[in-house]
Amino acid sequence: MAEHRKALFFGGLALQLVILLLVPLPKLTARLTGTPVILKVVPVDPYSIMSGYYMTLGFEISQTGRFPPGTDARFSNGETVYAVVKPGPEGCARPLFLARKKPDTLADGEVAIKGRMEHGSRVVYGIERFYIPEARRHEIDKAMREKPDANRVEILVGPDGTAILQRLLTDTEVFE
């Protein structure tokens, strides 16, 4: 009986450990094997007492109205969607279409980024916050305000569409 209880205890412990290890797996996979994608950004500069300074970043692919005609499907709040993008002539990803499921095949250069629909017209990808050290806050803010149209981020997109924010790129500097 004692051996049976011991096996149940360690089995339960092992199950919890497996679950804890599976939570960060999509982001780890994106970091290790992800496809790099460059997105244009529009910053907002909030402060959180718990997290410190961060920039809230907006992306062209966050607004459903920025996708070409043909993306006319109605999406519900909280619904998972995939933004299919392709690099444009200047290197930044351009929105092609939104889909409920990740496309089975993509053309050369196309990438599907997994997001969640909010308020029926906004897609959130989990890459909207860029945390910055307080000591560099003014330097980053100045670099981003000098040429706002040149601000971009590099993200890595994993095979399942999960995106992670890699670095912030301004006209003259790279912030990681």
Kindly state whether residues 89 and 152 are assigned to the same domain: yes
DSSP letter string over 55-68? EEEEEGGGBGGGSP
> Tell me, what's the pLDDT at 48?
55
Kindly state whether residues 22 and 42 are assigned to the same domain: no
**pLDDT level of residue 52 (50, 70, 90 thresholds):** low
Contact 38, 153 (CB under 8 A): yes
pLDDT: which is higher, 36 or 69:
36
Per-residue pLDDT tens over the stretch 119-132: 878 999 999 988 88
pLDDT: which is higher, 95 or 51:
95
Domain count, the chain: 2
Ranges 9-23, 48-62, 84-98, 134-148: which has the least confidence = 48-62
Kindly state whether residues 145 and 116 are assigned to the same domain: yes
In 10 A of CB 5, how many CB atoms?
A: 9
Q: Which residues span the domain enclosing 80?
A: 34-175
Closest CA to 36 of 149, 165, 129: 165
Kindly state whether residues 134 and 115 are assigned to the same domain: yes
pLDDT: which is higher, 84 or 8:
84
Kindly state whether residues 4 and 47 are assigned to the same domain: no
Strand partners, 55: 130
Kindly state whether residues 151 and 126 are assigned to the same domain: yes
Contact 75, 67 (CB under 8 A): no
> Tell me, what's the pLDDT at 49?
53
- Mean pLDDT computed over 98-126: 93
pLDDT: which is higher, 87 or 56:
87
> Tell me, what's the pLDDT at 128?
92
Kindly state whether residues 69 and 113 are assigned to the same domain: yes
Kindly state whether residues 105 and 49 are assigned to the same domain: yes
> Tell me, what's the pLDDT at 50?
54
> Tell me, what's the pLDDT at 101?
93
> Tell me, what's the pLDDT at 107?
94
Kindly state whether residues 99 and 146 are assigned to the same domain: yes
Q: Is 141 helix (H, G, I), strand (E, B) or coil?
A: helix
Mean pLDDT over each residue of the chain, to the nearest integer: 84
Closest CA to 85 of 103, 109, 121: 109
Kindly state whether residues 171 and 138 are assigned to the same domain: yes
Kindly state whether residues 92 and 155 are assigned to the same domain: yes
> Tell me, what's the pLDDT at 43?
57
- Mean pLDDT computed over 139-148: 83
DSSP 8-class letter at 63: B
Q: What is the pTM of this model?
A: 0.79
Kindly state whether residues 92 and 18 are assigned to the same domain: no
User: Tokens standing for 39?
Assistant: 């997105």
